[in-house]
Amino acid sequence: MPSKRTKALDISQRVKKAVWERDGGRCIVCGHYNAMPNAHYIPRSQGGLGVEQNIVTLCQVCHRDYDQSDQRAALRIWIRLYLQLQYADWDEQALVYKKHETL
């Protein structure tokens, strides 16, 4: 059985559907339609939750660049601004798994 942390970091189908609709079914960086709503703004490795406010739709190229290139810092700023525009109460601190909080 998966741990509470694993469950909290996973992206549910409900969240994927909501993010896909929010993002217009395309990569929020380049606009490509061959994209998936499965990119964590705050990475899973850093406790990034699988919630709408932490997930964006990226194409394979932009997702790779965000995860593994020298463009990460610039893309992080872009994605942060995008999410802030989507949610008036967006709070980066609220997007990280905290062991002693109930979800």
Closest CA to 56 of 93, 19, 14: 19
Domain boundaries, given as residue ranges, for the chain: 4-88
At residue 3, what are phi and psi to the nearest 5 degrees? -70, 165
Which CATH code for domain 4-88? 1.10.30
At residue 39, what are phi and psi to the nearest 5 degrees? -100, 125
Burial-class residue 20 by CB neighbours within 10 Å (0-12, 13-18, 19+). Answer: middle
The per-residue pLDDT string of the chain (103 residues; one tens digit each, 9 = 90 and over) reads 778 888 888 999 999 999 999 999 999 999 999 999 999 999 999 999 999 999 999 999 999 999 999 999 999 999 999 999 999 999 999 999 987 655 4
Q: Which helix (H) or strand (E) holds 56?
A: strand 55-59
Q: Give pTM, 2 decimals.
A: 0.90
